[in-house]
Amino acid sequence: MARPRTPKTKAKVTGQAAVRRKKFEERAEPKIIDPLGEPYAWIVDTDKSKAREAWEIIRKEIPWLNSSHRILVAEASNILGRMIAGAEVGVQAMNLLRQCLGQMGATPADASKAGAKPDGESSEDPAAKYFD
C-alpha cells in the first residue's frame, strides 16, 4: 500500500516543501484560506468530556489544519476530551483517535517522515553551502 500524500500546507510547516521543492511546486491542491476556527457550538465541556479544551490543544499542536478539517477535529476532540476528563475510553475509541491523528498528519511517524527534530532544534541544511 502506498504512503499517503503529504499535504502542501503540512510540507510548508515542516520544511519538507523547501527540501523537496520540485515535488511540491507542481502539486495542485485546493486553496482553503479559512483557519480551523472555534469549536462547533454543540461541542461542550462537561464533567465527562473536555472536548472544547481538546479542540484548542489540537489547534495549537497541529498548525496546518484548516476549515476543511473541522469534522475530523470534532471527532478527535470528542475522544481526546474524554481522556483529558479522566473518563473511561475504550480501545476502539483510542484506535479511532490514532487514526484521526494519522489522517491529520499528527503522529510521530508523520513527524519522522518530515524530518522533525525531537527537541525542536533546527539544524542547518548540509547542502546549503553548495547553493549560496
HSE-up of residue 46 (Cα within 13 Å, Cβ side): 9
Average pLDDT of the chain is: 84
Render pLDDT for 109-132 as a digit per residue (tens, 0 to 9). 765 555 545 555 556 666 677 775
**Cβ contact 87:49 at 8 Å:** yes
Is there a domain that residue 10 lies in? no
Is 126 a member of any domain?
A: no
Residue 41 domain-assigned (yes or no) = yes
Label residues 25-45 b or e (16+ Cβ within 10 Å = b): eeeeeeeeeeebeebeeebeb
In a domain, 92, yes or no: yes
- Is 123 inside any structural domain? no
Q: Which residues pair with 90 in a beta bridge?
A: none
**49 in any annotated domain:** yes
Average pLDDT score over residue span 94-122: 73
Q: How confident is the model at residue 90, as a pLDDT? A: 96
Q: Give the integer Cα–Cα distance in Å for 89 and 91.
A: 7
How many domains does the chain contain in total? 1
107, pLDDT greater than 90: no
Cα–Cα distance measured from residue 88 to residue 98, given in angstroms and rounded to the nearest whole number: 16
Q: Which domain covers residue 97, as residue numbers? A: 33-113
- Give the whole-angstrom CA distance, residue 97 versus residue 33: 26
Q: What share of the chain is helix, strand, coil (3-state, %, to 5)?
A: 50, 5, 45
pLDDT of 20 over the 90 cut: no
